[in-house]
Structure 1
Amino acid sequence: MMGKEKQKEIVQKLKLIGSWLEEKKGEDLLLLDVSKLSNVFEGVILATASNARHAKGLADYILEKVKEENWELLGLEGYQGGEWILLDLNDVIVHIFLEDIREFYNLEGFWFKAEKVEL
C-alpha cells in the first residue's frame, strides 16, 4: 500500500502530464490511479492522437517537460511508428495511441477497476 502523501503526488503528476497532453491537443485523455492494482507503477495515462505526426509531437512535448521537471525516463517505445507510443516515467506510464490502435487494444477494459483521476 502506498501512503497518502505518495498518492497525492501521483495524482498531481497525472494531472500535470494530462494538462501537457491537453495543451497539445491530445484527445480522449484518461488518467488512472492504478496504485491498488499494480506493484510496478502507480499511474497510467491514455491519450489519442489524430495521426502519427501528432503522436510524436505529443511524445516530444512530454519528453521536453519530463526533462524540465528532472523526472526519470525509464523507457520510450513505439516512437518510430507513431501508432502507439509508450513513455515509462517510472511511477507513471503514458500511452499515446492512434484511435484505431487504442480501440483494438482496449487498455481501458484492462484497467477498468482503476480509479479515474479528473483533470
Structure 2
Amino acid sequence: MARTTPPTRLPADVYESAVAAAGVTSRTVPQQIAHWARIGRELEMSPRVNHREIIRVLAGTGSYDTLGEQEQAIVREEWTARQSTLRGTLNYADEFTANGESYSEIDENGNVVVYPARS
C-alpha cells in the first residue's frame, strides 16, 4: 500500500529556491526539498560537522577560512544554490530597456552585440 504524506507549507523563498535549484540539478521540486532536508538532518546529527559555524559563515558573521573541508564544501554548495536562485530573478536587458540605457552582450560566437538605448 502506498504511503501518503500530509501537505506541508513552505516559506515562499524556500519554495522559489527549490524551483531554481531543481532546474539546475535535474530534480523535481519535491525531490530537491527532500534532498535539502536529508542534508540538513545529516549535518545536525554529524559530530564531525560544525553546523553552527556553517550558519555563521552563511550569515556573514564567521570566516570561511576557519571551516574544515566538509564545512567549506557545504558552504560552497549553499552559495551555489543561492547564486542560482538570484540569477533566475535577474533580467538586466529588461531593466536597461526600461531605463532607456544601452547595453552589450557576447553572443554564442564570442562577438560583442550592442543594444542601443531606446526612448
Q: TM-score, normalised by structure 1?
A: 0.27
Indicate the structure with greater strand content: 1
Query: Whose helix fraction is larger, Structure 1's or Structure 2's?
Result: 2
Q: Which has the higher contact order (CA 8 A, sep 6+)?
A: 1
Which of the two has higher C-alpha Rg?
2
Using structure 2 for the length normalisation, give the TM-score.
Answer: 0.27
